[in-house]
Amino acid sequence: MAIITNIEDLRVLAQKRVPRIFYDYVDSGSWSESTYRANRDDFAGIQLRQRVGINVANRSLQTQMVGQDVTMPVALAPVGLTGMVHADGEILAAKAAEQFGVPFTLSTMSICAIEDIAARTTKPFWFQLYIMKDRDFTSRLIARAEAAGCSALVVTLDLPMMGQRNKDLKNGLSVPIKLSLRNLLNVAHKTRWWTGMLGTKRHSFGNIVGHVPEVSDTASLLQWTAQQLDQSVSWNDIRWIRQRWHGKLIVKGILDAEDARLATRHGVDAIVVSNHGGRQLDGAPSSIAALPGIVQAVGHEMEIHLDSGIRSGQDVLKALALGAKGVYIGRAFIYGLGAMGEAGVSRSLEIIHKELEITMSLCGITDVKQVDQSVLFKAPQTYSK
Applying CB under 6 A, which residues contact ligand FMN? 25-26, 39, 77-80, 107, 109, 128, 156, 252, 274, 276-277, 279, 307-310, 329-332
- What is the smallest separation between the CB atom of 56 and ligand FMN, expressed in angstroms? 28
Give, in order, the Cα–Cα distances in Å from 159 to each of 33, 143, 252: 17, 22, 10
Give, in order, the Cα–Cα distances in Å from 34 to each of 15, 66, 275: 21, 32, 12
Give 348 or 365: the residue with its C-beta nearer to ligand FMN. 348
Strands 105-106 and 74-76: unpaired
Give 111 or 215: the residue with its C-beta nearer to ligand FMN. 111
Using CB positions, name the residue nearest to ligand FMN.
330
Give 190 or 305: the residue with its C-beta nearer to ligand FMN. 305
Task: Return the closest-CA partner of residue 240 out of 139, 141, 132, 153.
Answer: 139
- What is the smallest separation between the CB atom of 107 and ligand FMN, expressed in angstroms? 3
114: left (phi over 0), alpha (psi -120 to 50) or beta: alpha
Give 45 or 80: the residue with its C-beta nearer to ligand FMN. 80
Give 39 or 63: the residue with its C-beta nearer to ligand FMN. 39
Give 365 or 383: the residue with its C-beta nearer to ligand FMN. 383
- What is the smallest separation between the CB atom of 53 and ligand FMN, expressed in angstroms? 35
Give, in order, the Cα–Cα distances in Å from 363 to each of 161, 357, 371: 42, 10, 10
Give, in order, the Cα–Cα distances in Å from 378 to each of 93, 294, 351, 363, 375: 36, 19, 26, 14, 9
210, burial (CB in 10 Å: exposed 0-12, middle 13-18, buried 19+): exposed
Give 85 or 362: the residue with its C-beta nearer to ligand FMN. 85
Q: What is the residue type of 273? A: V
- What is the smallest separation between the CB atom of 51 and ligand FMN, expressed in angstroms? 28
CB count within 10 Å of CB 184 equals 12
**Beta pairing partners, 273:** 254, 306
The set of residues, in sequence order, having a beta carbon less than 8 Å from that of 147 and lying 6+ positions away, is none
CA distance 25 to 168: 6
- What is the smallest separation between the CB atom of 332 and ligand FMN, expressed in angstroms? 6
CB count within 10 Å of CB 47 equals 11
Catalytic residue numbers? 276
Q: Where are the alpha helices (DSSP H) in 59-216?
A: 82-85, 89-100, 114-120, 135-147, 166-171, 181-189, 191-198
- What is the smallest separation between the CB atom of 50 and ligand FMN, expressed in angstroms? 26
- What is the smallest separation between the CB atom of 159 and ligand FMN, expressed in angstroms? 7
